[in-house]
Amino acid sequence: MQSRKEAWAFDRVRFEAAWRAVGASHDNASAWLADRYAEEHRAYHDAEHVAECLAWFDRVRDLADRPAELEVALFFHDAIYEPLAPDNEARSAEQLRHFAREAGVPTEASERIARLIESTETHEATSGDAALLGDIDLAILGASPARYARYEREVRREYAAIDEASYRVGRARVLRGFIERVETYRTPRLAARLEAQARDNLSSALSALEQSEEGRDSVRNHQGETAGVGPGHQGA
């Protein structure tokens, strides 16, 4: 019986089509990307996440200014993922630049794609393809309650090296950050589909962190602390 990770194979055929569409002369990256997204320490940021992002992209492709470049950015945006590292997005963008140079992708296009990847560090873009990419990356927040609950469990597994009390503090900070945003999604079409469910999911997840006595004490006693590298950097 296939594991879930095996069932969600990286789509090398689709990647090659997008890669050639941005000017690549050959596919020099799909094998490397497939290996990265199959890394054992990934529970959420794996090939399934890429596939889910691509499925949302297909629904809103017509909104993209440069759809092929946005699609390539989706394939590369979590290429480097180390849960405790503060520079995953920058390193992923550098890998994109490296492979793009090798494959002859025009510099102007590769730089635009790299900037899209870098924008997912903060998800603060308010317009253009960067905002659309950010919304797609955060679509998991507005998933069904069952899928969202699995997402929370998967993120916890990725931070297995962090003790429970510290994790609760960091994760609560991340959840509050999303809840306190005026709007989770910048793209009206995605906001209409996802915003209300995302608010419900985030509020429920925060309540779950605080529901036990240990959780309440750890989260409330450390609300003002800065965790640094680690759970304070947990993103979607």
Report the pLDDT value the prediction gives residue 7, as an integer from 0 to 100.
59
Give the pLDDT confidence of 174-192 residue by residue, as tens digits. 999 999 999 999 999 999 9
pTM, to two decimals: 0.90
pLDDT at 40 over 90: yes
- Name, in order, each residue with C-beta under 8 angstroms of 73's C-beta and a sequence gap of 6 or more: 96, 113, 116, 117, 129, 133
Token pair listed for 151 = 């997402």
Residue 213, CA distances (Å) to 161, 165, 166, 206, 225 in order: 22, 11, 15, 14, 19
Report the pLDDT value the prediction gives residue 189, as an integer from 0 to 100.
97
pLDDT at 168 over 50: yes
Residue 14, CA distances (Å) to 32, 172, 225 in order: 15, 37, 44
Give the pLDDT confidence of 99-142 residue by residue, as tens digits. 999 999 999 999 999 999 999 999 999 999 999 999 999 999 99
Report the pLDDT value the prediction gives residue 174, as an integer from 0 to 100.
95
Give the pLDDT confidence of 196-230 residue by residue, as tens digits. 999 999 999 999 998 854 555 555 555 444 333 23
Domain layout of the chain by residue ranges: 9-137, 143-233
* Alpha carbon of residue 12 to chain centroid: 19
The full DSSP string for 33-73 is HHHHHT-TT-SSSSHHHHHHHHHHHHHHGGG-SSHHHHHHH
Report the pLDDT value the prediction gives residue 117, as an integer from 0 to 100.
98
**Residue among 92, 84, 85, 182 at smallest CA distance from 137:** 92
Give the pLDDT confidence of 42-71 residue by residue, as tens digits. 999 999 999 999 999 999 999 999 999 999
